[in-house]
Structure 1
Amino acid sequence: MDATLLIDRRTHDLGGGFIVGRVLPFRKRRMVGPFIFFDHMGPLELAAGAPRELDVRPHPHIGLSTVTYLYSGAITHRDSLGSLQEIRPGAVNWMTAGSGITHSERLEYARAHGATMHGIQSWVALPREAEETAPSFHHYAGADQLPEFTEDGVHSRLIAGAIDGQTAQVQTHSPLFYLHWRMAAGARRSLNTQYAERAVYVAQGSIEVGHHPLAEGQMLILPAGQPAQITALQPATVMLLGGEPIGERFIYWNFVSSSKDRLEQAKEDWQQQRMKLPVGDDQEFIALP
């Protein structure tokens, strides 16, 4: 199997010293299906009393859905709709910005108890007809909502979308799939060709895709139309994602849109403080860069 592209995560500071590994967007590959942003958070050991500077203060989004998925630790989410949710490992937290939303992500649990923060945050760009949809936030935690199975050394959880005859209950706006695999050393499983664009990312451990070794922090963009045989060279945490392409998107900071004019409007709205801040967290915000 010939890989179209191998992407290494790049170090990025979210502010206050919270370092993440940014994978998407990449200069040679901005999107995989509708996935337009992919950050690997941690693992970061935080002792009780961790500084507030590590928090992600209130900030805005348009034109996308954010997906926060943790392996360990906890994040307190607040948004301008009034949502208050402690995000825990294995749950799916799907926030659709649509026409506009603001939110904050605080490390309140780690400050109180200490924690190892480790997870993935991704953005899913909305199709044109849904870019201005009403904002919403949904929390999914049950196994009945997120199909799981364990077979031949692979534990799989479907985070969103549909694949292999299974469908997650997470509300999405375009055809996609997003999977979390925990693989024992030597375990092997195939990813089918259901979607036009697919990628594999190693969050921990190492795998082989065909004859291509893949280490922690690397994403492999898979060629269309070819099944991918994935083998764990050691115990591994693997994320698989993709879907159908939705067309070109422009990004400025936390804004995503098919229209550059819409990005300019969002920038002005934030600068002029026209966007409501999160309920219960409206005393500070991140300024437009």
Structure 2
Amino acid sequence: MSDSAHILIAGTLHDLGDGFMVRRMLPSARQRTVGPFVFFDHIGPVDLAPGRGVDVRPHPHIGLSTMTYLFDGVFMHRDSLGVVQAIRPGAVNWMTAGRGVVHSERTPEPERSAGHRMHGVQFWVGLPQKDAEIEPSFTHHAFVELPQWSGPGAGVQCRLVAGEAFGHISPVPVHSPLFCVDVNLDAGAEWLVPPEHAERAMQMVGGEIEVEEAVLSMHQMLVLERDVPVRIRARGPARLILFGGEPLDGRRHLGWNFVAATRERIEQAGADWKAGRFPQVPGETEFIPLPE
């Protein structure tokens, strides 16, 4: 793919604790953002032994919407709004932090005791500046609520996770023009991905596809050239997340779990967390300290 204007990202491994590894795709040295997406992690796949689970302790966010989308496994979400909601494969938990929210994600029972497989993606979407300090909110959307369709072409199945794409609209309440589509391809299936959105990328989460005679494999992300249709072909059964949208209205700074238009706002959020000025998650006593 050396002669292409597409950008290939391999990601970097990060340990979220207890050996639970994720692959951080965005931001990267080659591409900071895709549309309004400022952060993208690929979780697993990993098999958790009986008695082992994921415990992401309460931590704060500002200036973004966050979502975990699972292919396997379950997380129990708890937040400072009082929401307690399990997220399972194909469903959407969409949390908008605005001026500030705190949440945790943990493996519930019976999966923790029995052991189970975890696989999914997690991303942050930066809020437009006019919405950066709105009241925090949370919505849950079941698997059956999301638009699903076949094609174009044989062997292509799509589910619209968020935003608008290809004539479909997701019920997830977003704040800027974006899209996120879960795409399943049968072996040999082909699709000419149209340049419908300003910025687009695809994250491989299963199998391999051919893109302009190159091969895109599991855990790789390809940021697509603007304004150019891109033909893909599945070498076997394959799955990918296609996402992107309009760029944000100005540069965003990332600091720990915070997104803001200025570094001063991130510093203020850090000071507020350290001083205990964020709201608490009911029933939770642990928390992640501000990194020094």
Asked if these proteins are the same fold (TM beyond 0.5), I'd say yes
In structure 2, runs of 5+ residues without a counterpart are none
Task: Quote the offset at 1:191 in angstroms.
Answer: 1.7
Residues 179 and 166 of structure 1: CA distance in aligned 2, closer, same or farther (over 3 Å): same
Q: Select which of 233, 236, 240 maps to 1:234.
A: 236
Partner of 1:102: 102
Partner of 2:113: 112
Q: Is the 8 A contact 2:11 2:28 kept in 1?
A: no
Partner of 1:141: 142
In structure 1, runs of 5+ residues without a counterpart are none
Q: Is the 8 A contact 1:23 1:219 kept in 2?
A: yes
What per-residue deviation string (whole Å, max 9, x for no partner) do you get for residues 75-128 of structure 1? Answer: 000000000001000001110001000000001143133210110000101111
Distance 2:81 2:217 in 1: 40
Task: Quote the offset at 1:25 in angstroms.
Answer: 0.5
Distance 1:233 1:39 in 2: 24
Partner of 2:289: 287
Partner of 2:88: 88
Alignment partner of 1:72 is 2:75: no
SS in 1 for 2:179: strand
SS in 1 for 2:113: helix
Cα RMSD of the aligned pairs, angstroms, is 1.2
Alignment partner of 1:259 is 2:262: yes
Percent identical among aligned pairs is 50
Partner of 2:198: 196
Distance 1:184 1:92 in 2: 24
What per-residue deviation string (whole Å, max 9, x for no partner) do you get for residues 203-247 of structure 1? Answer: 111111232311111111111100111111111110100000012
Q: Is the 8 A contact 1:197 1:244 kept in 2?
A: yes
SS in 1 for 2:122: strand
* Worse-superposed segment, 105-114 or 63-72: 105-114
What per-residue deviation string (whole Å, max 9, x for no partner) do you get for residues 157-214 of structure 1? Answer: 0000111111101100000110001111111112211211100110111111232311
Distance 1:120 1:185 in 2: 23
Distance 1:40 1:172 in 2: 21
Distance 2:5 2:233 in 1: 16
Q: Select which of 170, 173, 181 maps to 1:171.
A: 173
Q: Is the 8 A contact 2:90 2:143 kept in 1?
A: no
Q: Is the 8 A contact 2:92 2:143 kept in 1?
A: no
SS in 2 for 1:108: coil
Aligned counterparts, 1:123-138, within 5 A = 123-138=124-139
Runs of 4+ in 1 over 6 A off after TM superposition: none
Q: Select which of 13, 16, 25 maps to 2:15.
A: 13
Q: Which amino acid aligns with 1:59?
A: H
Q: Is the 8 A contact 2:9 2:30 kept in 1?
A: no
Distance 1:182 1:72 in 2: 15
Q: Is the 8 A contact 1:3 1:220 kept in 2?
A: no
Task: Quote the offset at 1:142 in angstroms.
Answer: 4.3
TM-score by length of 1: 0.96
Task: Quote the offset at 1:44 in angstroms.
Answer: 1.1
Q: Which amino acid aligns with 1:255?
A: F
Partner of 1:249: 252
Task: Quote the offset at 1:3 in angstroms.
Answer: 3.2
* Worse-superposed segment, 272-281 or 171-180: 272-281
